[in-house]
Structure 1
């Protein structure tokens, strides 16, 4: 089926907020003398569940210092707040990733509707879209606040397609994460994988097309490939 809309993921696809997300936790882990590796973290890419970094930190500490582990449990809220503040600090100056603005401009010129489907909160996603002055480019924004289950469940993409008034098979999904690719597949959408700084370090499930960045394609090329 020809492409009738584009559905963008947000974190890692439009803006590299995935590196700050991981780095902020790695810094917390380092304070306690342990390490968080990208393969443990991979379960959370594109999702808002599946891996609890605080619980994982506690499990690592129990093996070497049970008393310290209990302190980390007691200080959970403080640790989470510090980590969020650090993530926000590291994310603050991140720009749109290469090719995003150009593809949105091409879609606008062609009259092709675009949507966002993200496992993050509406506050997070819309805040970024407005800050980067691309909110107006999207016909709809679907977030974790709009569905029962986030990626790898298909709900976000099915909701985006329904809001666009299109069948999922006509909505081309642009994704960087394993969970996002699985969700697009489950929804029946064709999917292009654009691995980000973090997701390129882990195995990805099969996609219909894989690109190093959105700067390596164009709307015309995508329409030719999927039309």
Structure 2
């Protein structure tokens, strides 16, 4: 596969770090306290896009005032960070993979629905800011995944044609966003099974982590 050494665009949660269980647990408690009545599995299915959009899907629009919703979300993020901090590390093999991409002249960016507080929590904690000249987060887009805006903005920030980007994702909605942006995708199976992506024809491969030898194809 000839990438012409263009760009790799990474989702963050579940793709760079294996933290989705901690997000699910934190959201399940918050939503339960608010009377949503969702199981853990139902909570998982709602966990895509911006948190504000998730609240609209679950409770209907405008159930919470802007400040109230902001406080709910921030309290959830603090609970998630406290629980996950002792486990904060890159998914196996990703550190070496990023260095190999950089050495190959492939540009790197992050396109995530996470708010800046969580992006900084991860990138500062792992000292990764210098590897990613472009970071697009929740505050930087109008509409989140499966809309392709986040990945198109990342490609534009790198000055790379979307068709020359490979997106790394852990969720079907994220891979759909890549597809709608004209991009291929690599699936990291931390949060979903490969069959959950069967309907998406832009998937290059599904891997458990970044030690998988299939990934060598991306540098060929």
- What is the TM-score with the length of structure 1 in the denominator? 0.77
Match of residue 210 from structure 2:
214
Match of residue 45 from structure 1:
48
Q: 1:110 aligns with which of 83, 104, 107?
A: 104
Q: Would the alpha carbon gap of residues 202 and 50 (structure 1) be closer, same or farther in structure 2, given more than 3 Å must change?
A: farther
1:57-206 equivalence runs, <5 A: 83-93=76-86, 94-196=88-190, 198-200=191-193, 203-204=196-197, 205-206=199-200
Contact 2:9 2:154 in 1 (8 A): yes
Match of residue 22 from structure 1:
24
Larger radius of gyration between Structure 1 and Structure 2? 1
1:149, distance to aligned residue in structure 2 (A)? 1.0
Contact 2:146 2:173 in 1 (8 A): yes
Contact 1:176 1:194 in 2 (8 A): yes
Match of residue 2 from structure 1:
2
Alignment gaps of 5+ in structure 1: 57-74
In the TM superposition, what whole-angstrom CA distance separates every residue of 1:8-44 from its partner, at most 9, and x where no partner exists? 11011011231111112334549x8x65232442232
Q: Would the alpha carbon gap of residues 2 and 53 (structure 1) be closer, same or farther in structure 2, given more than 3 Å must change?
A: same
| Divergent runs of 4+, >6 A | 75-79
Match of residue 72 from structure 1:
none
Q: Would the alpha carbon gap of residues 23 and 200 (structure 1) be closer, same or farther in structure 2, given more than 3 Å must change?
A: farther
- SS where residue 178 of structure 2 aligns? helix
Whole-angstrom CA distance in 1 between matches of 2:178 and 2:72: 34
- What is the TM-score with the length of structure 2 in the denominator? 0.79
- Backbone CA RMSD of aligned residues: 3.1
1:142, distance to aligned residue in structure 2 (A)? 1.1
In the TM superposition, what whole-angstrom CA distance separates every residue of 1:149-168 from its partner, at most 9, and x where no partner exists? 11110001111111111111
Alignment gaps of 5+ in structure 2: 60-67
- SS where residue 127 of structure 2 aligns? coil
Whole-angstrom CA distance in 2 between matches of 1:78 and 1:163: 31
Match of residue 64 from structure 1:
none
- Figure out how many residues of one structure are paired with residues of the other and give that number: 206
Q: Would the alpha carbon gap of residues 121 and 76 (structure 1) be closer, same or farther in structure 2, given more than 3 Å must change?
A: closer
